[in-house]
Amino acid sequence: MSKLRHHTWVLRPFVAVLAVLLLVLVSGCGGNVVTSTDTSSKAIKYTPVTLKNCDLTITYKQPPQRAVTMTQSATEVMLALGLEKHMVGTAYLDNPILPEYQQAYSQIRVLAPKYPSREVFLGVEPDFVFSTEESAFAKEVLGSREELLKLGIYSYLLPIECDRPELRPERVTMENLYQEIREIGRIFGVEERADKLIAQLQVQLQETQQKLGKVTTKKRIFWYDSEDPPLTVSNWGMPNHMIELAGGENIFKDIQKKEAWVTVNWEDVIARQPDVIVLIDANWSSAEEKRRILKSNPAYSQLKAVQQDKFIVLGFSYTMPGIRNIAGVRQLAEALYPERFK
């Protein structure tokens, strides 16, 4: 999803150093999945990696040393893999950083509250940029990935965000998250860490699914992403998949296009009468503001979910493919079917 839409809108010689990794499973729906601790290091041999990412094929002869992340989900994937020492900049928080990563995050330069200017970005002499939003490579932001490559700056873009729809996957599932983690692990030569992180995520998801069990009568959900007209989710994208895994049903699942977020009208929302409204909370669009809109407009009182205060608040950072997705499914499932999680 383009954040621009939300607001209305080199490589150098390197001897790789790896730390002994400790992955700690963190329980509870609000927390992150793992933390990593570097306690010792040893030199390893890096095997060159060639990846096709959207319409670019890039060969890495050594891991990037001066990486910049342009979105929160990208930042937290890097931190979950213990790669903070490879980072020289980060940008664009949607929600507060997870507490278990705050110390590592505080050591990295924040280039801008939103997207940095091209000048600020180039000023940290990056050799790699990782974004989960295609809008980071807009002309008015960093410029195209091809232009950056000419400057010796390699890049990785979340595959579901490829600019051409035909390059995007047919469906978005947790496999796309695992692919993202696996490919970043390969780029930085930390495949073992990536595999362990994926295994941790899979175990957490399995635990939620076991608790949830089979849901025969699914609660119908209106996913309220941002304000007026309402932006919601189609049947394609991570939010829709999260709804499915949590035992719910997206009231706009009939919108079939390779775009996760779509604009609808209030008349359709009212006609479809959701059982529950998920209010997405972000720095640029608060859940409280959306609740106020729903509560203050007499027309929306026709929604039984509004009348009965059937709201679930979920941070935006749980909705983009990243390490929070599994915890997001747990939050949704517990809020929809609390009796199954006692």
> What is the tally of structural domains in the chain?
2
The verdict on 195 and 222 lying in the same domain is no
Q: 18-51 pLDDT, tens per residue?
A: 333 333 333 344 444 554 444 333 446 899 999 9
More confident residue, 327 or 9: 327
The verdict on 244 and 329 lying in the same domain is yes
Give the integer Cα–Cα distance in Å for 236 and 172.
6
The verdict on 268 and 322 lying in the same domain is yes
Q: Looking at the domain assignment, is residue 96 inside a domain?
A: yes
* Torsion region of 262: left, alpha or beta (phi above 0 gives left; psi -120 to 50 gives alpha): beta
Q: Looking at the domain assignment, is residue 171 inside a domain?
A: yes
The verdict on 235 and 298 lying in the same domain is yes
Asked whether residue 170 carries a pLDDT value surpassing 90, the answer given is yes
Provide the CATH number for the domain around residue 303. 3.40.50.1980
Asked whether residue 66 carries a pLDDT value surpassing 80, the answer given is yes
Asked whether residue 239 carries a pLDDT value surpassing 90, the answer given is yes
Taking alpha carbons only, the member of 338, 326, 323, 292 closest to residue 132 is: 323
- pTM as predicted: 0.86
The verdict on 56 and 193 lying in the same domain is yes
Taking alpha carbons only, the member of 195, 226, 220, 233 closest to residue 305 is: 220
User: Which of 201, 234, 249 is a domain's end point?
Assistant: 201
Name the pLDDT band for 336 (thresholds 50, 70, 90).
very high
Asked whether residue 6 carries a pLDDT value surpassing 90, the answer given is no
Asked whether residue 154 carries a pLDDT value surpassing 90, the answer given is yes
The verdict on 99 and 124 lying in the same domain is yes
Give the integer Cα–Cα distance in Å for 213 and 225.
28
Give the integer Cα–Cα distance in Å for 96 and 282.
9
Q: Looking at the domain assignment, is residue 209 inside a domain?
A: no
| 67, burial (CB in 10 Å: exposed 0-12, middle 13-18, buried 19+) | buried
The verdict on 171 and 288 lying in the same domain is no
The verdict on 101 and 243 lying in the same domain is no
Count Cα neighbours of 270 within 13 Å in the Cβ-side half-sphere: 11
Q: Looking at the domain assignment, is residue 15 inside a domain?
A: no
Q: 267-322 pLDDT, tens per residue?
A: 999 999 999 999 999 988 999 999 999 999 999 989 999 999 999 999 999 998 89
Taking the CB of residue 2, how many other CB atoms lie within 10 A of it? 15
**Do the beta carbons of residue 237 and residue 160 sit within 8 Å?**
yes
pLDDT attached to residue 24: 35
Residue recorded with tokens 């950083």: 97
Helix axes 238-245, 325-336, angle to 10 degrees: 50
Please give the backbone phi and psi of residue 114, each rounded to the nearest 5 degrees, phi first: -115, -135
Q: Looking at the domain assignment, is residue 281 inside a domain?
A: yes
Residues 6+ apart with CB under 8 A from 118: 141, 142, 143
> Which pair of tokens denotes residue 231?
């932006």
User: Which of 170, 201, 232 is a domain's end point?
Assistant: 201
Name the pLDDT band for 227 (thresholds 50, 70, 90).
confident
The verdict on 300 and 326 lying in the same domain is yes
Q: What is the mean pLDDT of residues 233-243?
A: 96
Residues 6+ apart with CB under 8 A from 3: 71, 92, 114, 115, 133, 135, 284
Range of the domain at 128: 49-201
The verdict on 75 and 178 lying in the same domain is yes
Q: Looking at the domain assignment, is residue 5 inside a domain?
A: no
Residues 6+ apart with CB under 8 A from 81: 36, 181, 184, 185, 188, 190, 193, 194, 197
Q: Looking at the domain assignment, is residue 31 inside a domain?
A: no
User: Which of 176, 201, 226 is a domain's end point?
Assistant: 201
> Which pair of tokens denotes residue 337?
């079917």
Beta strands 41-43 and 87-91, pairing class: unpaired
Taking alpha carbons only, the member of 304, 258, 324 closest to residue 97 is: 324
pLDDT attached to residue 44: 65
The verdict on 185 and 278 lying in the same domain is no
The verdict on 54 and 176 lying in the same domain is yes
Give the integer Cα–Cα distance in Å for 326 and 34.
12
Q: 73-106 pLDDT, tens per residue?
A: 999 999 999 999 999 999 999 999 999 999 999 9
Q: Looking at the domain assignment, is residue 268 inside a domain?
A: yes
pLDDT attached to residue 228: 79
Q: What is the DSSP string of 61-120?
A: SS--SSEEE-SHHHHHHHHHTT-GGGEEEEE--SSPPPGGGHHHHHTS-EEESSPPPHHH
Angle formed at CA 176 by CA 212 and CA 157, multiple of 5 degrees:
140
pLDDT attached to residue 14: 36
